[in-house]
Every structure is written in structure tokens, then in C-alpha cells.
Amino acid sequence: MAITAADVKKLRDISGAGMMDCKKALGETDGNIDAAVDFLRKKGLAAASKKSGRVAAEGIVVSLSEGNVGVVLEVNAETDFVSKNDQFVAFANSIATLIIKENPANVEALKALNFDAELNVEQALSQLISTIGENMDIRRFARTEVAGTAASYVHAGGKIGVLIGIEGEVDATLARGVAMHVAAANPLFIARTDVDAESVERERAVLSERAIASGKPEAIVDKIVTGQLNKFYSDICLLEQDFVMDTDKKVGKALGAASIASMARFQLGEGIEKVEEDFAAEVAAQIQAV
């Protein structure tokens, strides 16, 4: 039986499932709408898309490493309560493991990968949405593979996740310590050579004007600014920060001959605009509606 666009739209309106899922369901059931709805419900896909408009800014950040390969991943949900749900946590860890194994190019490619024998990742996510009852999203991930060690660290039960790639020989304890340092100090760059020229010049201009305004002799302004720029770099560059595990050393010094090839730090929900809800007003509105 030929599946028409009208059939797909009708099933989508009834079930709330995605267009491609509806098309597949109709194909599996010879175009029978009722059977297709049951098919979607069994797969956990019905009604999942109805939750897609709700803001998901909570959830979990997962970071895993296996030898020289690692991943940091953010999976979002609507409430902090779900971040402690065993199914949700297991799903996030399974996705992180899949990324390590398959190395997808981006989130879209990740969602197309097989999650198990029956579902791809996107379908498995839809099923989880239907089961738990909250909107969820695989937001982002970073994967590293280096000629050395991948070190991961998760802070505060999944609120912050860090992944660093270290080239060269390094002790596992030191590698994890550097990952913990990144979680605590939040460096923006690995080295001063990574800082964009525009940011440096803007900082230099501010420092120069400040030195001149304070009455410093013009002849020594450049020297003063150079010294202050070193402080600027130590605030934002990992290798120049005081190592939190040994404040007598800079991170770069602690690493010795090893070097940092990559760094990723995800903070849960950063950049997502959260909706501020007035719970008392919501309850009052519900009471009035009764």
C-alpha cells in the first residue's frame, strides 16, 4: 500500500511522533493508522515530540576515557530530578561509550548511529522521553584521541565535565589532576599562543590607558603593560596557571615534557536560557481553573 503525505500527517497529529518515525510505522503496518499508533507506542515514540518545545537545561555531563581516547558529553533534561534517574544516567553513559567507539562527526551523525538491534540513537532518545515524561536532548560532545593519555573528570555529580588529551608520557594521577584543575580554574585557552590577537590588543589598550591615567612615565608604560599582560595570560591560559594540586608549580611545569593537545570543559546548561517559573502563581492559576 502506498503511503501518502496525508497519512503521515494524520499519524503525526495523532501520535506526536516525528515524521520519519510515522512514515516507517505506516510502512510496517501496511498503512493502518491504528496499528501504526500501536507500533509507535511499543517503540516508545508516540507523544515524545509533544515535549520537544519545553526547555531542557538540566541533565548530566558525562566524561569517559579509555587509554588515549576520551569523550565529554552533555545530555539535557527538564529537571534536576531526572539527572539522578538510573535509566537517564545509563543512557548518557551508553551514548558516551558509543562516541568513543564510533567517532561520529557531530550530534546529527551520532543520532543516526545504531543504539541497539532495533533503534538508532534518536529513536532510543525518543523512547526515553516517552518513558520518563520529560523533554531531553543530546546537546553536544567533544572527543579526543591522542598519542598519549586522555584524562576525564566529572565534578558535582555531572554538573561539570572535563576532557583533556595529553601527548607524551604522563602519570595517570597527574593527568587526572590536570583535568580536575581545569574543572576548578576554568581556563579559556591551553597556551598564550591560542589567545586571539584581538583579545590581546584590547587588553593591551586597556592596560596602557590605565597606566597613563595613573601618571606613570610614558617611557615605562610598555614595560608595565607587558608585566600585566603576563598576569592576563596566567588567568586564562591553562599552562600558565598555578597548579591547584601543587601551587608552587605552573601547570606547564608540572607536566614536564608532556604537552596538552586538547581541552574541553562542559558546564551543564551553560548558554541555555532557562524559563523562570513562579510556582505559587502556577498553583493559584490551577486552583482558579478548577
Task: Please tell me the distance from the alpha carbon of residue 47 to that of residue 41, in angstroms, as a whole number.
Answer: 8
Q: Where are the strands (E) in 111-243, listed by range?
A: 136-145, 148-155, 160-167, 242-243
Encode the chain (290 residues) as per-residue pLDDT tens digits: 788 888 888 887 777 677 788 888 899 999 998 888 878 876 766 555 555 556 778 999 999 999 999 999 999 999 999 999 999 999 999 999 999 999 999 999 999 999 999 999 999 999 999 888 888 999 999 999 999 999 999 999 999 999 999 999 999 999 999 999 999 999 999 999 999 999 999 999 999 999 999 998 888 999 999 999 999 999 999 999 999 999 999 999 999 999 999 999 999 999 887 655 554 555 555 455 54
* Residue 2: φ, ψ to 5°: -75, 135
The domains of the chain, with CATH numbers, are: 5-46 (1.10.8.10), 55-145 (3.30.479.20), 196-236 (1.10.286)
What pLDDT sits at residue 151? Answer: 98
Backbone angles phi and psi of 265, in degrees to 5:
-130, 115
List the grid coordinates of 48.
Answer: 515524545
What is the per-residue pLDDT for 290? 43
At how many degrees (to 10) do helices 33-43 and 19-28 cross?
120
Q: How far apart are CA 148 and CA 167, in angstroms?
A: 4
If phi > 0 it is left, if psi is from -120 to 50 it is alpha, else beta; for residue 133 that is left
Handedness of CA 210, 215, 221, 226 (dihedral sign): negative
Q: Cα separation of 112 and 120, whole Å?
A: 6
pLDDT of residue 39: 82
Residue partners of 184: CB distance under 8 A and separation at least 6: 155, 244
Query: For residue 182, what are the contacts with CB-CB under 8 A and spacing of at least 6?
Result: 153, 162, 164, 238, 263, 265
pLDDT (0 to 100) of residue 285: 56
Assigned C-alpha cell, 149:
593519555
- Strands, DSSP E only, in 43-109? 58-66, 69-77
Could you tell me which residues are beta bridge partners of residue 62? Answer: 73
Question: Residue 289: what pLDDT?
Answer: 52
Round to whole Å and give the CA distance between 34 and 26. 10
Q: Are 155 and 183 in contact (CB under 8 A)?
A: yes
Q: Is 119 left (phi over 0), alpha (psi -120 to 50) or beta?
A: beta
What the block records as the C-alpha cell of 193 is: 599562543
State residue 193's pLDDT score: 96
